[in-house]
Amino acid sequence: MVTREDIENIALLSKLFVDEKDLDSLTEEMQKIVAFADTISSVQVDTGEFDNINNLSNAFRADEVRESLPVDEILRNAPEQAEDHFLVRKRA
Amino acid sequence: MGQIKRLHEKLTAREITCVELTQRFLDAIENSNKELNAYITVTPETALAQAKAVDEKIARGEEIGLLEGIPMTLKDNISTKGIATTCASRILTGYKPIYDATVYELLLKEGVVMLGKTNMDEFAMGSSCETSCFGGAKNPHSLDHVAGGSSGGAASAVGANLAVYGLGSDTGGSIRQPASFCGIVGLKPTYGAVSRYGLIAYASSFDQIGPITHDVEDAAIIFDAIAKYDERDSTSQGSEAALPTLYDAIAGKRIGIANQYLNGVREDVKDAVLEAARLYESMGAQIVYFDLPELDFALPCYYILAMAEASSNLGRYDGIRYGFKAEHYNGIHDMICRTRSEGFGKEVQRRILMGTYVLSAGYYDAYYKKAVNLRGAIVAAFDRAFEQVDAILAPTAPVTAFRSGYLFGEETDPLEQYLSDICTVPVNTAGLPAVSVPCGEDSEGLPIGMQLIGRKFDEKTILNLAWQYEQRGYQAKETKWGVKL
């Protein structure tokens, strides 16, 4: 059973604000989705641990210095920037 | 002959210049996009510059490649250097990538003409294109109906002849379902066949880029051009070319029909798929009915995993490095929360919350871990099936295009959207390739699609089967829109 407190806690972890007025309807919606997800709990299939879809292992490249993306181009997308850094003000 | 080869001949025979061809598409977009909403961004300057370069090459008497000068489009979650890439989300307002996605890089080398970026569900989360912050793309067969989703803009654009082909992405059916709704062809390649570098992530272990085209030959041509190993995507492997065997005879091929795929499918859709099966039999293929009970839990398994991956992937949107940032806030936590709450749409927030829920302490084993292991059971079930058959035939969607607004109506359960993906998600869960082709129409004239599902990295077999069907099976209706060539 999903409660209002569950949603408040999950929203905090997700870094999302949920409006007080939407909390009840969202709890109800989430309860439906969780009930749907719960349908897998009754499935009994003898599977081992599954790793990944194509049995891939980590792909490492040689440890050599390569050119990175240019800082000034990266910063062009930042809402605020200063002296080659992303700028985050305490409040606005 | 497919549309790409036909246009290539016109260009090389100098019946039309590439600039003229491109301008016709740009004019058609200008005339129709208000109604169809297929494009988010149109790039006339880029397209005309690319077209001019092709004309100059032809004028010098140089040979041009098959894809050279062919006007195409990219879904707006595929990164394009210096061109806005929005994912149809407010949170990426103003964002212009500083690099091209590998698929676009590969196509640029082929000399393509890029007309613009197409509409989609926000972050590819949806089945009707209606979660787009720009409003949904319309179906070129009926403006009262959706184009499907999430690559609805690409399917609308191709179906309405506002591009020769488009690249979409398919996480749970997002190429095949809109292709089916718009009466065209859509190929979801094997997981790992096409590089995801530069594709903005939704659920990384499911996402694949693939072509949306008018015909099967075009899909094979595009697939062969983009299915290459790329060291920048550690899961990429490339695949075998499809074109060399595309036109082969199919006598002796074994095509499976899983009984579970027909459960809950609307009668007219089922009939159209079974009619295609009969046609295959007449071409010498063998139809084998079998059971695939694992399909019953593929849908919840997919949604648990996709939402979990999404909640992690979308953690990066914090208003600091790119895109939208909340105007007023007090402290960094407040800034990030406000940015995300104001920047993400409702469906995206719902999936982030659900993904966070299944990954949180106390629920991880019951949901996420269990779903991962069930995924293994689904992979194994398909492996067993492919010991008996060369391909599996199934409906692409249980119904035809939804009426606009239906999925988000007051009366509609939020689960209905998820349930409508029942036929497409098992393929992504197992990492398999599948191609959707038109196979009929309903009483309102809306297209019905069927999909052929193949073994991993065996796109060539399903495209061969699809091409053979296309020659003798249902002929998709042209829409009234766009450039007629």
Q: A33-37, B44-48, B49-53, B464-468 — which is least confidently predicted?
A: A33-37
Q: Which of A32, A48, A74 sits opposite B376 (nearest CB)?
A: A48
- The residues spanned by each domain of chain B are 3-251+401-472
Contact by Cβ (8 Å): B422, B181: no
Per-residue model confidence (pLDDT) at position B15: 97
**B224-233 mean pLDDT:** 97
Task: Place B139 in a pLDDT band, splitting at 50, 70 and 90.
Answer: very high
Per-residue model confidence (pLDDT) at position B460: 98
**pLDDT tens digits, B377-392:** 999 999 999 999 999 9
Q: Which of residues 437-456 of B touch A (CB under 8 A)?
A: 456
How open is the CA angle B284-B286-B291, to the nearest 5 degrees? 165
Per-residue model confidence (pLDDT) at position B446: 98
| Residues of B labelled as active-site residues | 75, 150, 174
Q: Is pLDDT above 90 for A55?
A: no
Residue-wise burial string across A44-69, b where 16 or more C-beta atoms lie within 10 A, e elsewhere = ebebeebeebeeeeeeeeeeeeeeee
Task: Place A51 in a pLDDT band, splitting at 50, 70 and 90.
Answer: confident
Contact by Cβ (8 Å): B177, B127: yes
**pLDDT tens digits, B74-115:** 999 999 999 999 999 999 999 999 999 999 999 999 999 999
Query: What's the whole-model pTM score?
Result: 0.97
Instruction: Look at residues B37, B205, B20, B3 and name the one whose alpha carbon lies nearest to residue B119.
Output: B37
Per-residue model confidence (pLDDT) at position B377: 95
Per-residue model confidence (pLDDT) at position A53: 86
Q: Is pLDDT above 90 for A56?
A: no
The rounded mean pLDDT for chain B is 97
Cβ of B312 under 8 Å from any chain A Cβ? no
**B178-205 mean pLDDT:** 98
> Between these two residues, B419 and B244, which has the higher pLDDT value?
B244
Q: What is the architecture, at CATH level 2, of domain B3-251+401-472?
A: Alpha-Beta Complex (3.90)
Q: Is pLDDT above 90 for A31?
A: yes
Per-residue model confidence (pLDDT) at position B381: 96
**Three-state SS for B347?**
helix
B205 to A30: CB separation less than 8 angstroms, yes or no: no
Q: A76-80, B244-248, B333-337, B407-411 — which is least confidently predicted?
A: B407-411
Q: Which of B332, B353, B370 sits opposite A88 (nearest CB)?
A: B332
Task: Place B456 in a pLDDT band, splitting at 50, 70 and 90.
Answer: very high
| Residues of B whose CB is below 8 A from A33 | 303, 350, 354, 414-415, 418
| Residues of B whose CB is below 8 A from A32 | 413-415
Tokens of B164: 């020769």
Q: Which helix (H) or strand (E) holds A73?
A: helix A71-75
Q: Is pLDDT above 90 for B360?
A: yes
**B127-150 mean pLDDT:** 98
Q: Is pLDDT above 90 for B59?
A: yes
Nearest CA in chain B to A60: B234
- The residues spanned by each domain of chain A are 4-40
Cα A12 to Cα A34: distance, rounded to the nearest angstrom: 18
Per-residue model confidence (pLDDT) at position B167: 98
Q: How far is B474 from chain A (nearest CA, A)?
A: 35
Q: Is pLDDT above 80 for A33?
A: yes
Q: A45-54, B271-280, B440-449 — which is least confidently predicted?
A: A45-54
Task: Place B213 in a pLDDT band, splitting at 50, 70 and 90.
Answer: very high
